[in-house]
Amino acid sequence: MYQDKKVVVVMPAYNAERTLDRTVREALATGVVDEIVVVDDASRDGTVTLARRLPQVRVVVHPQNRGYGGNQKTCYREALASGADIVIMVHPDYQYSPRLIPAMASLIGIGLYHCVIGSRVLGGYALRGGMPWWRYVSNRVLTLMSNLCQRAKLSEYHTGYRAFSRDLLQSLDLAGNSDDFVFDNEMLAQVIWAGYTVAEVSCPTRYFAEASSINFRRSVRYGFGCLRVALLFLLCDLGVVRHALFPRDQRRRQAPAEPAA
């Protein structure tokens, strides 16, 4: 709980048995998390069995794999259904430090922002944390293209550490988004399209054998997907095309400010 606001952490899990316990316990140790929702996407290991033994964890199981984006759709739907005021998504692979949860929750809880992301690039943590050089270069190139097309100034768009207000999540139409990894990019583009300012906090990361990562082939497909989203945003913004991902009636240059709680 943060200032009488319910904080729910969601974890989209797939074969996360080796790192789930550490991630959950570190999140709970922050003292602000009311509930953790682990959505298992048809894992082949003992993720579900382990998750059901952990404190303050509610487990939702997909009988069939729905993809990373499909998993997140369930995460946010379940968090809202549980009455969450602040929803924080963190990968259960222990790549991102759960100790940043209070900072991210506070930026939303006091009414400053509706969306906060943990950036691996701010502070130079990406390469120091072990991010492969080719992944770092592609991150920078894709981020540059997204910023140019979406008139934004984010340090990165590809982090798996994000916090949202209840109002923001309820305003987004996520059902039509991809069920694949590009869901992350689509969702952040929708937030920017709706006029919300995205806050960033510097986030140390860890790259190690147990940390999840997509292979090179899927990374290339993800990269082209991000470029498509950026270009589509620009074309919709210019009025050249219309697309359900960026509805014209939701386009705002600046979201209205909220008073502090």
CA distance 75 to 110: 24
Q: What is the mean pLDDT of residues 100-117?
A: 97
Cα–chain-centroid distance for residue 219? 17
What CATH number labels 7-250?
A: 3.90.550.10
How many angstroms separate the Cα of 260 from the Cα of each of 3, 89, 111, 113? 11, 23, 5, 10
Residue of higher predicted confidence among 191 and 124: 191
141 vs 256, which has greater pLDDT? 141
Residue 246 has pLDDT above 60, yes or no: yes
- 72 pLDDT tier (thresholds 50, 70, 90): very high
Cβ–Cβ under 8 Å, residues 38 and 59: yes
Q: What is the mean pLDDT of the chain?
A: 92
Determine the Cα–Cα distance for residues 196 and 168; give it in Å rounded to an integer: 9
Binned at pLDDT 50, 70 and 90, residue 258 comes out as very low
- pTM of this prediction exceeds 0.75: yes
Model confidence at 217, pLDDT cuts 50, 70, 90, reads confident
The reported pLDDT for the residue numbered 206 is: 77
Token match 């998390």: residue?
33
For residue 216, the model assigns a pLDDT of 75
Please name the residue that has the structure tokens 């005021």: 85
Q: Where are the alpha helices (DSSP H) in 2-152?
A: 17-28, 47-51, 67-81, 101-109, 125-128, 133-150
Q: Is the dihedral of CA 119, 124, 130, 133 positive or negative?
A: positive
In this predicted structure, what is the pLDDT of residue 257? Answer: 43
The domain limits of the chain are: 7-250
**Residue 114 reports pLDDT greater than 80:** yes
